[in-house]
Amino acid sequence: MAIAVGTKAPDFQLKNQHGETVSLSDFRGKKNVVLMFYPFAFTGVCTGELCALRDELPRFVNDDVQLLAVSNDSPFALRVFAEQEQLGYPLLSDFWPHGDVSRAYEVFDEEKGCAVRGTFIIDKEGAVRWTVVNGLPDARDLQEYVRALDAIAQG
């Protein structure tokens, strides 16, 4: 069971595909965050989801919102994946210690060794305002993200 709406989002520091450290707290007081966990780069459903976000990027990376996508892949694999798919947003590596952030958000599948498809929308104060968790084979609906972000923007 993933962390609940209304919970303070666990802070973290992870390396992005360029080796830069990104913290959730970097956005506190500045932007709402769409924190998206996905199992693995280079897989069919994950690639489809991440490319759909790329195609709608102005909705998810702007003055009010920052998209952060997290997998248990190494930063090196994420860099190749981002370049191959032209993903212009941070792909964060929860590779080592393996799955620590995924575990903090309660979306790590111990048996498979990867995160399940969990998405958390975190407001500017650091509270989880919306969440959805899908099984490994089930893609998420981006329009649900849009509706949740609109609801936060409207207060």
Q: Which of 46, 87, 91, 133 is catalytic?
A: 46
- Is 46 known to be catalytic? yes
Question: Residue 153 — φ and ψ, nearest 5°?
Answer: -65, -35
Q: Which amino acid is at 26?
A: D
CB 40 within 8 A of CB 72: yes
Q: What's the 3-state SS for the chain?
A: CCCCCCCECCCCEEEECCCCEEEHHHHCCCCEEEEEECCCCCCHHHHHHHHHHHHCHHHHCCCCEEEEEEECCCHHHHHHHHHHHCCCCCEEECCCCCCHHHHHCCCEECCCCEECEEEEEECCCCEEEEEEEECCCCCCCHHHHHHHHHHHHHC
Catalytic residues: 46
